Amino acid sequence: MIKTELCKLLDIEHPIIQGGMAWIATGELAAAVSQAGGLGIIGAGNAPADVVREEIQKVKKVTDKPFGVNVMLLSPYVDEVIDVVIEEKVPVVTTGAGNPGKYIDALKEAGTKIIPVVPSVALAKRMARLGVDAIIAEGSEAGGHIGELTTMPLIPQIARSVDLPVIAAGGVADGYGLAAVLSLGAVGAQVGTRFICAEECIVHENYKKAILKARDRDAIVTARSTGHPVRNLKNKLTRQIEAMEQEGVPKEEIEELGIGRLRRAVVDGDVDEGTVMAGQVAAMVSKVEPAEDIISDIIEGAEKVLRDNCKLIV
């Protein structure tokens, strides 16, 4: 069995964190992943604090194992969400889209581990100076909002730059991916897209089917002109955005077009004109299955790869 520093840090059985995907990573999915030995994450997104509390309560009703909440720091409700996280004694907080500095002392006092998601070495160093507990280094293969660096060069650079555990995100969906990032210096992986096709994930069936149908070049990047690029699956919406960018439409109009489109895909099942966020590994996801089976497959696959690789040394 693969045991890394991450397992000890978070008191989990397997070095796998489930991505905190807004609208997708609900309490149902987080509970299933945590119960299976990984770290389930609730995606707070722009949800009000009372909604986040409800999702936390869902997890607590199913499992007493560690779990986390992903806090989107640009949310208008961020202060209230942090208060709920502290009141509910959530073991782990991952953060994105901002600087968690103002919340770190209060979270640490509550016993919560803080793990920011970063796309670059500079941001990793800045977070390390703030006193966070670990770093999630996310390559541009990931779904949703992304940076520029890919996972392969990003992980070793960050691992060498900070004296903290580094978790790899972006491009990991199976045992090959986990074995690869462990070899690059990571202590575990954050997996998002594959967990969308977990049985316990409550996204609309059309969303899951879109991922299952995806081919290798279907997860594209749009909205680069806005300064906030997003990786999602090709559809009518992405073609419309691409046309607007080519025509030089002001970024404000493109941003306006995108409002509410993720919910439209996740909840309403409109995978033509909604935003179907997914990573490049979407083409590697072949079936809907329990979260426990997903974790077992990744871990067993990584163990085999690492054992086989050892045979290369003579």
**pLDDT exceeds cutoff 90 at 256:** no
pLDDT band (50, 70, 90) for residue 183:
very high
Element housing 122 (H / E): helix 121-130
pLDDT at 163: 95
Give Cβ neighbours of residue 202 (< 8 Å, ≥ 6 apart). Answer: 26, 28, 29
Q: What is the pLDDT of residues 79-96, one digit of tens each?
A: 999 999 999 999 999 998
For the four alpha carbons of 115, 118, 121 and 122, in that order, the dihedral sign comes to negative
Cα gap 166→182, rounded to integer Å: 10
pLDDT band (50, 70, 90) for residue 1:
confident
Residues of the chain with CATH 3.20.20.70: 5-202+285-310
Percentage of the chain lying above the pLDDT 90 cut: 87
pLDDT at 259: 87
- Whole-prediction pTM: 0.93
Task: Give start and end residues of each alpha helix (H) in the chain.
Answer: 5-10, 27-35, 49-62, 78-87, 101-109, 121-130, 151-161, 175-183, 193-196, 205-213, 236-246, 251-258, 261-266, 291-310
Homologous superfamily of domain range 5-202+285-310: Aldolase class I (3.20.20.70)
Residues 90-104, mean pLDDT to the nearest whole number:
92
Q: Which amino acid is at 91?
A: P
3-state class of 181 per DSSP?
A: helix
- Average pLDDT over the chain, rounded to whole? 95
Neighbours of 260 (CB within 10 A): 10
Please name which of 45, 193, 17 lies closest in space to residue 113, comparing C-alpha atoms. 17
| CA-to-CA separations, 19 to 168, 229, 253, in angstroms, rounded | 11, 18, 29
Q: Which residue has the tokens 């949800």?
A: 47
pLDDT at 66: 97
First to last CA, the chain: 24
Q: What is the pLDDT of residues 120-177, one digit of tens each?
A: 999 999 999 999 999 999 999 999 999 999 999 999 999 999 999 999 999 999 999 9
CA 128 to chain centre: 20
